[in-house]
Structure 1
């Protein structure tokens, strides 16, 4: 049975893993995201120590270049994370290990993992939203991660902002009061003066639910997903998902009329904190199959 390598490359840590053919994670190691010169070689050493994987998948924080015809394919591009802008993550792994390397965003990876093994099993189109320090969105459409001009950046969608109710200007360095600028963990910290997990004001969480419900409604109308999965640290707040469901139903106003029950439509990740790394296993599998196809006569 082949062994696959997987990396969930986050802004604070890289989770490296080996998994079997069924997607079962066998072993993991957490590597701090310090500098590319330290973090990437540490990931290489993880894969060199154990049973050799047949391919590796990387689900990375971004923005990233997913265009395989681009000279910077596999790069983390214009990230604000110090020291990581324009970092090639694919080539060092591929050259050191001599195996195919799959690559996508961390949220597309999480969407892929949940679609294959988790809350999206059996469905055609699934959206995954992570609400943590920032906000990201990934989607699987017709069984494949969604790409286009670039990868989805729904964390930066513009949503209604009632300055009377919420005078906070927003925390996004690019857009101010986009979704991430209003509803991310960073935004909550700046607005309320303490981390989201320490905010106990019911009105604060009603406001958070309002913004997330607006985002989910926009995604419902644009991508028409069969299920929306919300993960990330902020989303672990007890009762938040129920608030979002209730507000989403109100905002939808009965349109479309065939929306499923909210507790079936808007759900938490079935894979918990393993969504991203499990999705990276699928990226590895796809990279191996792509390489095989390219070498067939």
Structure 2
């Protein structure tokens, strides 16, 4: 009998729920709007009640509690998303489906998918950086998702400012962190509200953004030495950025440490919008095997 596995990629806009077989052939996949838990989760439960799955992998928007020793392990914690703050996501799933679970962040799920099936396939480590409405990163080292008392919040590392950037920063907590200076709303605010897709490809705005993303790549390289840095999110659709990021990375690193060939080191997401759900399936399979 064919074994089935469940996956939930829980985003702030939509939940993608899917069931697949051992070879990751998708049996069914649905998209459910993220409204309030009472509505969204009712649809999630109804979807999985149709199947007997071996396990379920969940990659959720956050912040979430990933510390197994914590009283709030499995919760979505201090999110601004109405209704979801302090929501016991994993606990509610366990009440209804008595199966093994994998529980991690949305970006960790995508990082794991890219490591196993995408741009970092065949490697042992990678960082997946998503740059869009916000900035986040998933980290996999030694084939394992990195977690400690919490999960990485790479979007909030402090940035050294570009000398020509006078924008105060979008982040309400830190102003000039990576997210505050490099997220989509920050790029658009610098241009007086012009949408990113309307900004000319040769505009100074992209040079400034590339500087910050390259700086983040340098910091991650110096701290983690990943074998690949993979970019996803809306920024990954701005193809002109990648040569600029690599060139700025080279300038800022100043040859301090050797790196792989930059064309093969700082790369575009390979699985696209399927990175997260792929990672969920793979983590679900691991959870079932334990």
Tell me the TM-score normalised to structure 1 length: 0.93
Give the Å deviation of 1:159: 0.9
Contact 2:67 2:148 in 1 (8 A): no
Aligned partner of 2:181 in structure 1 is 182
Contact in 2 for aligned 1:196/1:234 (Cα 8 Å)? no
Q: CA deviation at 1:25?
A: 3.2
Gaps of 5+ in 1: 291-297
Matched with 1:295 is none
Instruction: Figure out how many residues of one structure are paired with residues of the other and give that number.
Output: 287
Shift of 1:234: 2.1
Deviation of 1:45 (Å): 1.1
Contact 2:100 2:287 in 1 (8 A): yes
Q: Is 1:72 the counterpart of 2:72 in the alignment?
A: yes
Match of 1:93 in 2: 93
**Residues 125 and 227, structure 1, Cα contact 8 Å, conserved in 2:** yes
Q: Is 2:214 the partner of 1:213?
A: yes
TM-score with structure 2 setting the length: 0.95
Say if 2:56 and 2:102, in contact at 8 Å, map to a contact too: yes
The Cα offsets for residues 9-51 of structure 1, whole Å up to 9 and x where unpaired, read as 01111111112212343431111111111111211111123x3
RMSD over equivalenced CA pairs, Å: 1.4
Conserved? CA contact 1:25–1:278, under 8 Å: no
Aligned to 1:29: 30
Hey, what's the Cα distance between the residues in 2 that align with 1:25 and 1:189? 37
Deviation at 1:161, TM superposition (A): 1.3
1:46-85 matched pairs, under 5 angstroms: 46-49=47-50, 51-85=51-85
Render the CA deviation track for 1:106-133: whole Å, top value 9, x for unaligned: 1111111111111111111111100011
The answer to whether the Cα contact below 8 Å between 1:76 and 1:89 also exists between their aligned partners in 2 is: yes
Determine the C-alpha separation between the residues in 2 that align with 1:185 and 1:175. 16
Provide the secondary structure at the position in 1 that maps to 2:62. Answer: coil
Residue 217 of structure 1 deviates from its aligned partner by: 0.5
Q: Distance in 1 between matches of 2:183 and 2:195?
A: 11
Q: Is residue 2:171 matched to residue 1:172?
A: yes
- Distance in 1 (alpha carbons) for counterparts of 2:107 and 2:176: 21
CA distance in 2, matches of 1:25, 1:184: 32
CA offsets, 1:58-91, max 9 Å, x none?
A: 1011111001222211111011222211111111
Q: Which residue of 2 aligns with 1:229?
A: 230
Assess if the C-alpha contact under 8 Å between 2:139 and 2:146 holds in 1: yes
In structure 2, the partner of 1:124 is 124
**Partners of 2:190 and 2:205 within 8 A in 1:** no
Q: Tell me the distance in 1 between the aligned counterparts of 2:150 and 2:54.
A: 28
Q: Secondary structure at the match of 1:87?
A: coil
Q: Could you tell me how far apart the structure 2 residues matched to 1:83 and 1:195 are?
A: 29
